[in-house]
Amino acid sequence: MRPKDGYEPCDPKDFVQPTNNKSLQVQLVLSLLLGLTAFLAFCILRPRWPALYAARKRRLDPSINLPTLSNTAFGWIPQLYKVTEEQILSTAGLDAFVFLTFFKMSGRLFAIMAFFATVVLWPINNYYRDFSIHFGNKTLDPLYMSSQLPIAMEDFDLSKGPDGSDSKHGLRYLWAYVFFTYFFVGLTIYSVNWETFRIIRFRQEYLGSQSTVTDRTFRLTGIPSDLRSEQKIKNLIEKLNIGTVDAVTICRDWRKLDDLVAVRDATLRKLETAWSKHLKYRRGTSWMDQSSSSNSQREDADEDADENGRLLNSELEQGDWGDQDRPNVSIRYGFLGIRSRKVDAIDYYEERLRRLDERIVEARKNKYEPTDMALVTMDSVASCQMFIQARIDPRPGRLLTKTTPAPSDLVWENTYSPRGIRRLKSWAVTLFITILTLVWIFPTAFLASLLSICAIRAVAPQFAAWLQSHTIIYSLFQNGIPTLVVSLLNVAVPYLYDWLSNCQGMISQGDVELSVISKNFFFTFFNTFFVFTISTTGLDFWSVLQGLLKDTSLIPTIIARDVERLSEFYICFIMLQGIGLMPFRILEVGSVFLYPFDRMMSSTPRDYSELKKPPVFQYGFYLPTALLVFNLCLIYSVLKLGLVILVIGTIYFGLGYFAFKYMVLYAMDQPQHATGGAWRIICQRIIIGLVVFEVVMFGQIATLTAFVQSIFILPLVPFTIWYSFYIKERFEPLTKYIALRAISTGEESEEEAVSDDTFDDEGSPPARRILRRGSTLDEYREKGLTFVNPSLIVPLQQPWIYRDPPPVIPDDRTEASEDQDPRILASTDSSLGIGESNVWRDGGRTV
């Protein structure tokens, strides 16, 4: 029945799909305009805003040999290109090296595929796929004929091909599909294998050449209650005759102390905010105008203030400024806090800070209940690795050894959380994310389909008619904006998943980062590909899914039905992600946009100091989208528009390699320390893409009634699944541990190290001499660090009132006594910028 407006009912193919030949052209022009604008803005702003675009380089130690880029508009481009992999590894670490290697491998792989798609597949797809299929009085393209299910395929009659011959004659050329499916799968597996060997070689050489406290420490879990003391664990480990124990840290229930330190930090900031408000009322001056000399004079005057040295001189407070315009704070008291009164904010927070300091000093002297986890530092890397790769106790779940994150990467509050609670949190978050991903189907599909011509026609038929009369604007509404909506969703969701991963109870920030990568990939792949593949609008997803569960034999055909039909949508998506939005990543448009707001919200010297810190580069925000693009290029590589998507994919990974190379080397910090663990996730997600690619090709060939050819695709599926187990068994252990032969003992000469035959069968070894010109990046990061909860030893900071930061007041109450065991000496985390001090630990009591 024809609707009143005279239009035909909406066809499902009209949702999130280009409907005219202008779509790709419009998307290309739009992407070029966005990308070139952002790139030129970056080239202009980069030398003018070095505090943002060279933030990491400015904070690096001079001993880290990272080349300085030219300040000209385009002179930095060839200099960045010349930065070698060895320099990336030595200045940015293993995680950045692995991340950039994936982009480099992908660009090279898809360039090779694009060549064969141009020379061989394009003529076949352009000539032999150009025929129709007749059903009754309708003419259908073979891309859509399977949408007529459950109509039997025998009801269709194949028409003549373009050369006048029977189109069944053309189906013989589908053997080319079979051949190139095998060829592209083999090429992908070869590339993954080759890069995995190379990454393992670099990783083993890099980690084996250093000796950090992290490399010498393992985590011992499942400790029985009768062994929960430093001395007993030390005796137990040394009785195994594998090495000597340098230090043992029992993880204890420090929750009360950690809470006090957190409250003190919040109070300190409130006091600084109160002082900044008060200084703003002083005529003609503020903390920004205070010189270092005046700050030094006030420090001298403060020596006689009181016992904690934090209150400013009373003469300066009252005689110079008076009591007017001092900020107030409302405090509640009495039964249920019903009553309230206003007090002087500065005096209130200073007194509260003094009392918190007293409680923290006393809390550091207390004994705390030990947990079933300990951190054991050995005298050598080799002995530590032998413990990590071995089993100590014959009973299940007892005395398990695991790798340990770096001290700065450790989440201490999760070390004393019971293992059962952490496991329960993990299951709960995983279940919640699964439900959330399924629920997210509806807003994703709604937002994408809301901008389709069908939705516009239903709401505003006159506007829809105007759009259809303007081809370019119509193409923008029909395809450009939906791809932008999907792209923005992929940018926003990782922030939620990052928060959920932090709530999961993981021991290190590196584990959190790997978890975000997995969760975000699951969301992007499921919602951006799988939902639209089996359900065009997403709103009929459940009905289609129920049909598939009733007859699983329809899965390949259903997937094949919509995959190729959505090819132009995904080409536009990749085009926008690569050409249009990639330059915005290097421009750091988010930081630029938020900086004025962050500056307006900043009021204290500490706030302004934190504004100068480099933004944090989070792999979980960038890698999942790149993996989705990789899989899309792989899935569409043999199909009709495979040439276009492979070329666009090559451009995406080429631009991505260049943009992210600049970001991880010069602009952004990477505090996470996963030692290249993301490569395991990359390999497994590529295998998922391979399986989907093989299923799609099976369904495509079967849909074209070439059943013999489709059967030849089936062996690839079990082979790819076997390959996933092969990678897990052969490669993954070397991406987690350090091989004993790779560990440098420091006794061999440099020539002996270079001539070592450890990697002879895999090609020439990495340049050990390049890596060992100085300390590795990990050794630089972990200099002076030990595994001690910072709440036990961090000096209590003074309020930061003036331009220069306040000096650290040594606390004589943390001096070591002479009757403690010197082998469990620990030092402060010097990376916090708070100096160094020594403490003795005795049964959880810090003196």
pLDDT in tens, 184-205: 999 999 999 999 999 999 999 8
Higher pLDDT among residues 11 and 550, named by residue: 550
> Alpha-carbon distance 788 to 792, whole Å?
7
Q: Is the pLDDT of residue 373 over 60?
A: yes
What pLDDT is attached to residue 841? 33
Alpha carbons 255 and 461: distance in angstroms, whole number: 63
Taking the CA of residue 710 as centre, how many other CA atoms within 13 Å lie in the half-sphere pointing to its CB?
17
| pLDDT level of residue 329 (50, 70, 90 thresholds) | confident
**Average pLDDT, integer, range 701-715:** 83
Task: Tell me if 216 sits within 8 A of 380, measured CB to CB.
Answer: yes
- pLDDT at residue 469 is higher than 80: no
Give yes or no for residue 535 having a pLDDT over 60. Answer: no
User: Which is more confident, 434 or 317?
Assistant: 434
| 18 pLDDT higher than 60 | no
Query: Pick the residue with more confidence: 623 or 324?
Result: 623
- Inter-residue contact 208 to 744 (CB < 8 Å): yes
Is the per-residue pLDDT at 830 higher than 60?
Answer: no
Structure confidence at residue 479 (pLDDT): 65
Q: Which residue has the higher pLDDT, 479 or 603?
A: 603
Two structure tokens written together for 596: 């004025």
**Does residue 436 sit in helix, strand or coil?**
helix
| DSSP structure string for 546-602 | HHHHH-GGGHHHHHHHHHGGGHHHHHHHHHIIIIITHHHHHHTHHHHHHHHHHHHH-
Task: Choose the weakest-confidence range: 176-185, 297-306, 638-647.
Answer: 297-306
Report the distance separating Cα 636 and Cα 627, nearest Å: 14
Q: What is the pLDDT of residue 144?
A: 41
pLDDT score recorded for residue 142: 43
**Number of Cβ atoms within 10 Å of the Cβ of 612:** 11
Q: In this predicted structure, what is the pLDDT of residue 608?
A: 85
Question: What mean pLDDT value characterizes the chain?
Answer: 76
| Report for 153-167, 313-327, 564-578, 619-633: range of highest mean pLDDT | 619-633
pLDDT digits (tens, 9 = 90+) for 258-267: 999 999 999 9
Question: Is residue 99's pLDDT more than 80?
Answer: yes
Q: Pick the residue with more confidence: 818 or 652?
A: 652
Q: Give whichever of 387-391, 481-485, 649-653 has the largest mean pLDDT.
A: 649-653
Phi-psi region of 9 (alpha: psi -120 to 50; beta: other; left: phi over 0): beta
Q: Is pLDDT at 301 greater than 70 in this prediction? A: no
Residues 747-787: tens digit of each pLDDT: 554 444 444 555 544 444 444 444 444 567 777 777 878 88
Q: What is the pLDDT of residue 746?
A: 53
Mean pLDDT of 408-433: 87
188: left (phi over 0), alpha (psi -120 to 50) or beta: alpha
Q: Mean of the pLDDT values across residues 84-112? A: 92
CB 440 within 8 A of CB 492: no
Predicted pLDDT at 544: 61
Alpha-carbon distance of 572 to 566, in angstroms, equals 10
pTM over 0.85? The answer is no
**Cα maximum dimension of the chain:** 104
d(CA 451, CA 459) in angstroms, rounded, equals 11
Between 632 and 602, the higher pLDDT residue: 632
Q: Which of 609 and 814 is assigned the larger pLDDT?
A: 609
- Tell which wins on pLDDT, 201 or 18: 201
Which value, in Å, is the radius of gyration of the alpha carbons in the chain?
32
pLDDT at 466 over 90: no
Measured CA to CA, the distance from residue 556 to residue 214 in angstroms comes to 48
Q: What CA–CA distance (Å, rounded) separates 664 from 655?
A: 14
pLDDT of residue 530: 72
- Residue 456 tokens, joined: 């516009």
**Better-predicted residue by pLDDT, 829 or 624:** 624
**Cis peptide preceding 150, ω within 30 of 0:** yes
pLDDT value at position 556? 62
Q: What is the mean pLDDT of residues 439-458?
A: 66
Q: Is 335 exposed, middle or buried (0-12, 13-18, 19+ CB in 10 A)?
A: exposed
Examine the pLDDT at 217 and tell me if it is beyond 60: yes
The mean-pLDDT minimum among 137-141, 269-273, 352-356, 784-788 falls in 137-141
In the prediction, which pLDDT does 68 show? 87
pLDDT of residue 546: 63
How far apart, in whole angstroms, are the C-alpha atoms of residue 597 and residue 607? 12
What's the whole-number mean pLDDT along residues 598-619? Answer: 84
More reliable by pLDDT, 118 or 436: 118
Q: Is the pLDDT of residue 737 over 80?
A: yes
- Quote the pLDDT of residue 189: 95
Please compute the mean of the pLDDT values over residues 534-557 and round it to a whole number.
59
Q: Assign 632 a pLDDT band (cuts: 50, 70, 90).
A: very high
Query: DSSP per residue over 143-177, as a string?
Result: TTGGGGTTS-GGG-EE-B-TTSSBHHHHGGGGHHH
Q: Report residue 658's pLDDT band, with 50, 70 and 90 as the boundaries.
A: very high
What per-residue confidence (pLDDT) applies to 818?
A: 33
Position 657 pLDDT exceeds 90? yes
In b/e form, how buried is each residue of 726-761, taking b as 16+ CB within 10 angstroms? ebeeebbebbebbbeebbbeeeeeeeebeebeebee
Over pLDDT 70: what percentage of the chain?
72
Cβ of 429: how many Cβ atoms within 10 Å?
19
Instruction: Pick the more confident residue, 438 or 651.
Output: 651
